[in-house]
């Protein structure tokens, strides 16, 4: 149990999740339904790939030379969703409108739109089609327009991949696009390694569109004192909790502050039925926090204004992920001026270093491991953040806030790169 510094080992382990992989704790994860799902998963993936390929076959691209030079610009995405992919689609749509003027927008959440090729909405032939959602949505996305309408359109897909190996279940979509935009060089490397020669891959970083007026955070509504040091971590763990690594966030906060009531972490999670063990009656994370009440786990949906208020009003944003295809929350917080303590590996290491408020956490490479089996191609390594180094940085930032409130000087938070950051320590897989 981690809830008081007295219970912590002298050296905080980098992988606090390990305790839940061992018996008897592992039995809570490996229920009969979970085992049955994993047994069937490989065959189900093959079926999904075949179904996606069949559903989109009528939309196979033509040669680039046949594409129209003018005509309507179409953009399809989950613009009304409540996740990072949806926000990225909105940001990209705004950029396209700035470039082209009018851009016809089709929203995946619009139930009034057609869902089958034979019902697809017709109209004048399009010059360009931007698919601003993941390839596993392409069967639904393309069914919103007739094959004839986009037969000669140049197709650009916005793809974000989180690991060094692109999953096989996206590769059917190479037949549908001429070009792929991806927001990081890390993601580009994975996609390019799998892409055929007729598909170009371009790095196009996200550009967050911040509101003109930043909403103020009502700390009292969250039960957080004005002088408390407030941390925020936001993660969607519906598919792969291991990648976002909520256990490391809890361990780092506990290692830094124990149960201090004036050091509060808000951990916003999104869970699915099969990943609820992370939180089920707060089982795994509760076992780590113990009786400490300074880590608050919330699952409810928050509107954009409230999320922005949290991002801007927090004293630090914490992201001890194992891999990010981009890390939109990291970028948004940095743009809002909120300090970020994050694993200095994968996509965020490319853009975050130009921000003064970025505090990189060193890491080591470890073999991928995930009980949900989310990624179809599993032979790769990802990063394990150094929790002790993260805790040290959190303590320094908190002390700086306390000193500023008292009008005294404290040691300046280390805005420079940690000596090991970016190198993975010795750079060897563990």
Handedness of CA 324, 328, 331, 337 (dihedral sign): negative
| Residue 218 pLDDT | 94
3-state secondary structure of 425: coil
| Residue 334 pLDDT | 97
| 201: β partners | 180
pTM over 0.95: no
Which burial class, exposed, middle or buried, applies to 208 when counting CB atoms under 10 A from its CB (0-12, 13-18, 19+)? middle
In a structure prediction context, what are the per-residue pLDDT tens digits for the chain, which is 430 residues long?
233 333 444 456 789 988 888 888 888 888 788 888 888 888 999 999 999 999 999 999 987 656 667 889 999 999 998 888 999 999 999 999 999 998 999 999 875 555 555 555 678 899 999 999 999 999 999 999 999 999 999 999 999 999 999 999 999 999 999 999 999 999 999 999 999 999 999 999 999 988 889 999 999 999 999 999 999 999 988 888 899 999 999 999 999 999 999 999 999 988 666 555 555 444 777 778 776 689 998 888 888 899 999 999 999 999 999 999 999 999 999 999 999 999 999 999 999 999 999 999 999 999 999 888 889 888 899 999 999 999 999 999 999 999 998 876 554 444 433 333 333 443 333 3
Nearest to 100 by CA among 126, 63, 136: 126
3-state secondary structure of 56: helix
Tokens 């992370």, located at residue: 278
Strand order in the sheet with 295-298: 295-298, 263-270, 229-236, 316-319, 340-343, 358-361
Length of the chain measured in residues: 430
Nearest to 223 by CA among 264, 267, 176: 264
State both tokens at 414. 């280390």
Q: Could you give the C-alpha distances from 201 to 80, 88, 377, in angstroms and in order?
A: 27, 18, 20
Reply yes or no: is the peptide bond before residue 24 cis, omega within 30 of 0: yes
State both tokens at 393. 């940085």
Q: What angle do CA 350, 355, 357 make, to 5 degrees?
A: 120
113 DSSP 8-state letter: S
Q: H or E stretch including 263? A: strand 263-270
- Render 167-228 in DSSP notation, one character per residue: -GGGGGGGGT-SEEEES-HHHHHHHHHH--TT-EEEE--------SSPPPP-GGGGT--TTS
Write phi, then psi, for 313 (nearest 5 degrees): -90, -10
- In degrees to the nearest 10, what's the CA dihedral of 233, 80, 190, 374? 70
| Residue 421 pLDDT | 36
3-state secondary structure of 379: coil
SS3 for 269-326, per residue?
EECCHHHHHHCHHHHHHHHHHCCCCCEEEECCCCCHHHHHHHHHHCCEEEECCCCCCC
Helix 328-336 and helix 304-313, axial crossing angle in degrees, nearest 10 = 60
| Residue 412 pLDDT | 44
| Residue 273 pLDDT | 63
| Residue 5 pLDDT | 38
Which burial class, exposed, middle or buried, applies to 370 when counting CB atoms under 10 A from its CB (0-12, 13-18, 19+)? middle
What b/e string do you get for 320-341 counting C-beta neighbours within 10 Å, with b at 16 or more? bbbbbbbbbbbbbbbbbebbbb
Q: What angle do CA 84, 185, 203 make, to 5 degrees?
A: 75
């Amino acid at each position: 149990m981690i809830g008081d510094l007295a219970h912590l080992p002298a050296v905080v382990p980098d992988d606090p999740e390990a305790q839940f992989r061992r018996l008897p704790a592992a039995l809570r994860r490996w229920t009969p339904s979970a085992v049955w799902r994993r047994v069937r998963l490989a065959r189900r993936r093959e079926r999904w790939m075949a179904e996606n390929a069949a559903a989109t076959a009528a939309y196979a691209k033509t040669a680039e030379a046949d594409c129209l030079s003018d005509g309507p610009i179409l953009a399809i995405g989950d613009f009304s969703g409540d996740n990072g992919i949806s926000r990225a689609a909105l940001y990209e749509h705004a950029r396209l409108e700035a470039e082209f003027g009018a851009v016809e927008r089709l929203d995946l959440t619009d139930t009034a739109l057609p869902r089958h090729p034979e019902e697809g909405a017709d109209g004048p032939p399009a010059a360009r089609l931007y698919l601003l959602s993941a390839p596993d949505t392409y069967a639904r996305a393309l069914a919103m327009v007739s094959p004839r309408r986009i037969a000669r359109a140049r197709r650009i897909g916005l793809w974000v991949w989180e690991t060094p190996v692109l999953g096989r279940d996206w590769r059917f979509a190479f037949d549908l696009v001429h070009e792929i935009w991806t927001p990081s060089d890390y993601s580009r490397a994975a996609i390019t390694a799998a892409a055929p020669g007729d598909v170009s891959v371009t790095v196009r970083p996200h550009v967050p569109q911040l509101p003109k007026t930043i909403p103020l955070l009502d700390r009292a509504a969250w039960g957080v004192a004005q002088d408390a040091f407030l941390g925020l971590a936001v993660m969607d763990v519906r598919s792969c909790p291991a990648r976002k690594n909520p256990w490391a966030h809890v361990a780092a906060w506990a290692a830094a502050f124990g149960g201090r009531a004036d050091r509060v972490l808000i951990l916003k999670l999104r869970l699915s039925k099969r990943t609820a063990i992370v939180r089920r009656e707060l089982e795994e994370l509760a076992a780590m926090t113990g009786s400490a009440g300074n880590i608050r786990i919330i699952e409810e949906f928050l509107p954009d204004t409230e999320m922005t208020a949290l991002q801007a009003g927090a004293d630090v944003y914490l992201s001890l992920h194992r891999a990010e295809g981009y890390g939109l929350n990291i970028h948004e917080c940095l743009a809002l001026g909120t300090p970020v303590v994050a694993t200095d590996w994968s996509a965020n290491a490319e853009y975050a270093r130009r921000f003064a408020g970025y505090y990189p956490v060193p890491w080591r490479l470890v073999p991928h491991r995930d009980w949900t089996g989310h990624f179809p191609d599993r032979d790769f390594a990802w990063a394990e953040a150094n929790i002790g180094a993260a805790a040290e940085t959190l303590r320094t930032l908190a002390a700086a806030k306390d000193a500023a409130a008292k009008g005294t000087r404290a040691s300046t938070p280390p805005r420079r790169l940690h000596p090991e950051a970016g190198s993975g320590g010795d750079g060897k897989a563990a």
